[in-house]
Structure 1
Amino acid sequence: MHQRNGFIINIKRRRMFMNIDINNNIEELKISELLDTDKKIYIPKKTLKERIGTFSRHILLIFISIATFFPFIWMVTSALKSRQEIFTFPPNIIPANPNWHIFSDVFKEAPFATYMFNSLSVATIEVIFQIISAAMIAYALTQFKFVGRKVLFGIVMCTYMLPSAVTYVPCYIILGKLNLLDTLTGLTISNLVNVLGIFLIRQAFMQVDKSFIEAARVDGASHIKILWKIMFPLTKPTFITFGLISFVTYYNEYMYPSLITKSPEKFLISAGIRQFFIQDGAYGTKWPEIMAASTITVLPLLILFLIAQKWFMDGVGGVTVDK
């Protein structure tokens, strides 16, 4: 065997199976004849065209990563600058005299602790109920056989096509009749069901091997036990991905909470930053304070993502069922 655009490796023969990828063709080699002899296997190198393509993709990903991460870096560094330094041209990324005390000052100038607590509590309760309701509905749509099951799922998905702004007025009227306007309770119960969660979890449940469910039923497991002891652990990446997306959405929501809540002590973080932006006629003159408040606002989301990134990447990458 001659060598061309590749290299030779020696593999000690053992009593084992090996999967070797040669020219994108997976070949299974059973090595069981001899124990003390070697076999040479040819593995081709990448061509120049393939190397250029790989290098180009890496460069593109680096630029995209920098462009994505730059606004966060600018926000943090702007919080440490003076008002005049922010508008200096050409701009400086690194502040000359960092003002670290700005992060404590914003809590003295506005009740950001209250705003963050409101946002965290509302988003957490909404996500918990959305996961429970979506899991139960998805389980019924995938495990129960009844007439009109597909039609019902189609109707549910049609509601997802409606713009969210269309529901603002009906929700406002209903909450007004229930005397729940300007309350965090009214804001929370308006978002206890999420159609996107129903869709994602249903698709994940459809990929679960039916033999697991049948075995559980033979053992006498109830539907609730099957759902939370079998389906949930197997589809954990989908649950965590949906929960993370939903939490970020409702934590940062601005329009609907601004419509429902009017008292400053009921504001969520987005409405609180906007109020801080215009209070006392400032209208954007407190840019260092606004950048500091925005940085503090983002921290819970960063921590949450760092904790759940493994399952989130699996869910985004299409790994909806744990093996």
Structure 2
Amino acid sequence: MGWPGWEGILKDYPERLVKATQEVSTIAAAIAHFEPVTVIVGAERVEEAEAYFAEIDTPFPIKVHRVEGDSMDLWMRDIAPVFVIKEGPGDDRSLVGLDYNFNGWGGKYPTPTTVDLARNLLKDINMERVETSIVTEGGALETDGDGTLLVTESSIVNDNRNPGKSRQEIEDELVRTLGVKKVIWIPGRPGLDSTDCHVDALVRFVRPGVIVLSKANEEKPTDWTVVYEEALEMLSSATDAQGRPFEILEIEEPDEDLFEGGGFNDDRAVRSYVNYLLVNGGVILPQFGDPAHDAAAIRTAQRVFGDERRILPVLIDELPRLGGGIHCSTQEIPLFP
């Protein structure tokens, strides 16, 4: 996870920066009930972060990792490497980091610290960096771990990230770097938010063959409702890499009329229950302050995850207004070996 820096994209909004830091820290403490957490912090906030987490008592440790630069951001899903297991040569296997050349979500919000974070972090932890030929973010990639990748076309086949590259060229690189066998492209819509409609707030895997879809909840349908409807139609007739049809469960988004104020820089606030985080033995599930929909999301999570995972709900308000959620603010590292 990451703490936002004082000179990052929130430098002109100190109150929002403080609120975002608090919510990220709350999520970190929730995750630390299931597994260790590392919080990436710019040099100017390291002492503050170390003092804060020293007061937090959790079953697993929360470690602060210092990076140079004061323009750190909190959206680790997108700015951090994507960690994968590299096979070969021979029987060798190793944990490596994919660097997908983060460019500030298509040039919208690049900072000196974030555009170089993947490279610098991998150097810090002495892990192999695997170069890639495309620009994308971790929040644009959703895999079932069994050969299937879900992506939105609008967030990758976009001239603000991959000018001149065809969808097939981009797909070939995704297959090469992620080891998947089938890529399912959901249309999405460019320009609807800062991410150009990342998949991780739209549809997620529960397990191979089972997906949850964020159901739009708009009195007057907009492009967001169309994105949801297109995704539902496409996934209802699709099969995964193993030829299985999808079991689709929908989780309706909260009622927007319960919230005052919108998103960051006129973007829509992202209040999606499917932007949860899977941790070892648990699910960190977002809650937004809509009692009926929050409770319904918990019931659905309990039904789909059953006894295999404990549901830990976490209330967030500032992160959705800044354009993301729990999954967006985290990046997991596979357990290896």
TM-score range, shorter chain: under 0.3
TM-score, normalising length from structure 2?
A: 0.22
TM-score, normalising length from structure 1?
A: 0.23
- Larger RCO (CA within 8 A; separation ≥ 6): 1
**Structure having the larger proportion of residues in strand:** 2
Which has the greater radius of gyration?
1
